[in-house]
Amino acid sequence: MNIITFDTEEWYTEYKGLQRSEEYALFDEKLNQILECLDQNGIKGTFFCVGQLAIHFPEVLRKIQNNGHEIGCHSNVHNWLNKMTYEECLSDTKNAVDAIEQCVGEKVLSYRAPAFSIGKKNQWAFDILAECGIERDSSVFPAARDFGGFPDFGQQQPCVIHHNGIKLKEFPIPMTTVLGKKVAYSGGGYFRFFPLGFVKNTMAKANYSMTYFHIRDLLVESKRVMTRERYEAVFKEKGTLTARYMRYFKSSVGKKQAMSKLLKLIDYVDFVNLDEADKMIDWGKGPGVELVD
């Protein structure tokens, strides 16, 4: 089972930040390329969209929906959940789900937190998702990472989360082992860093893979190191020179080949979206994860 997903926020994050409207045409171009390639291969994906994108750029969501793809939720304003209180997260999620549902006229059932920002310290977020009508989540990164991760989660395949009486279908990000270390390989900077052959071979050997792509990651652009002010506004942490250069490297590596690699991967792999994957799984026989506070 190979699942293809896209985390979709660029139009709004540019709109709320730098007002660089000339970027929108580039985002539109890449989205059109992706939709065309998916259509040519008869593949439907899941596009996790931020709620404010539905308000300020509803045409983006409707274009995706009109091409037959699932619209999921990617928070309201793309802030990390591990930087929020319970009340802030509840408000953010409710606003996001409502905005998206009003835009596309369909129930939102799938969710992904920005930067996979649900972990042990804020696993109460799963309760919020269930309260807001979310049935399947893909926010768990079962390893340590810059923004926390969930190294003690215990599963790298679809499973049912049990927490405070709620049940939630979870599609975690699968890992592979490189030089004795568990790393992701199928999305974001990992996909841009690893050779395409490595990604395809790893997927072929696994019974479950989950991709995650950002349109911003597919643009070839001249980027500068973030200013301290910009870094701290985006990541809500100290913008040291080391942190800013590390972020520059991670966000720039492999961009020249990223789009062509993605299109080749779509041509090569038989992908499904989260809704289709959900229907393929016998959840009564799958593993469960009991989360204890």
How confident is the model over 83-142, as pLDDT tens digits? 999 999 999 999 999 999 999 999 999 999 999 999 999 999 999 999 999 999 999 999
Question: What are the pLDDT digits (tens) for 235-282?
Answer: 667 778 766 655 555 565 557 889 999 999 999 999 999 999 999 999
Identify the band that residue 284 occupies on the pLDDT scale cut at 50, 70 and 90. Answer: confident
**Which residues, 6+ apart, have CB-to-CB distance to 233 below 8 Å?**
none
- pLDDT, residue 221, reads 63
- pLDDT, residue 149, reads 87
pTM, 2 dp: 0.88
- pLDDT, residue 144, reads 83
The pLDDT > 70 percentage for the chain reads: 88
Superfamily in which the 2-226+255-290 domain is placed by CATH = Glycoside hydrolase/deacetylase (3.20.20.370)
**CA 162: distance to chain centroid?**
22
Exposed / middle / buried, residue 216 (Cβ in 10 Å: 0-12, 13-18, 19+): buried
What backbone phi and psi angles, to 5 degrees, belong to 49?
-115, 145
Q: What Cα–Cα distance (Å) separates residue 104 from each residue in 65, 201, 235? A: 7, 37, 30
Answer left, alpha or beta for residue 105, where phi above 0 means left and psi between -120 and 50 means alpha: left
Tokens of 213: 């792509």
Nearest Cα residue to 171 out of 121, 88, 113:
113
Q: Are 49 and 97 in contact (CB under 8 A)?
A: no
Mean pLDDT of the chain: 89
Q: What is the mean pLDDT of residues 41-54?
A: 97
- Distance, in Å, from the CA atom of 212 to the CA atom of 111, rounded to the nearest integer, reads 13
Q: Are 48 and 35 in contact (CB under 8 A)?
A: no
Identify the band that residue 178 occupies on the pLDDT scale cut at 50, 70 and 90. Answer: confident
Q: Which residue's entry shows tokens 């037959």?
A: 68
Q: Which residues pair with 210 in a beta bridge?
A: 3
Q: Are 40 and 263 in contact (CB under 8 A)?
A: no
Q: Are 214 and 12 in contact (CB under 8 A)?
A: no
Q: Which residue's entry shows tokens 């079962």?
A: 142
What backbone phi and psi angles, to 5 degrees, belong to 65?
-65, -40
- pLDDT, residue 180, reads 82
If one compares 52 and 177, the residue with the highest pLDDT of the two is 52
Query: For residue 19, is pLDDT > 60?
Result: no
Q: What Cα–Cα distance (Å) separates residue 170 from each residue in 8, 130, 136, 211, 239? A: 20, 12, 6, 14, 33
What backbone phi and psi angles, to 5 degrees, belong to 253?
-60, 135
Query: For residue 169, is pLDDT > 90?
Result: yes
- pLDDT, residue 223, reads 64
- Distance, in Å, from the CA atom of 60 to the CA atom of 192, rounded to the nearest integer, reads 25
- pLDDT, residue 179, reads 83
Nearest Cα residue to 110 out of 276, 282, 285:
276
Q: What is the mean pLDDT of residues 193-205?
A: 93
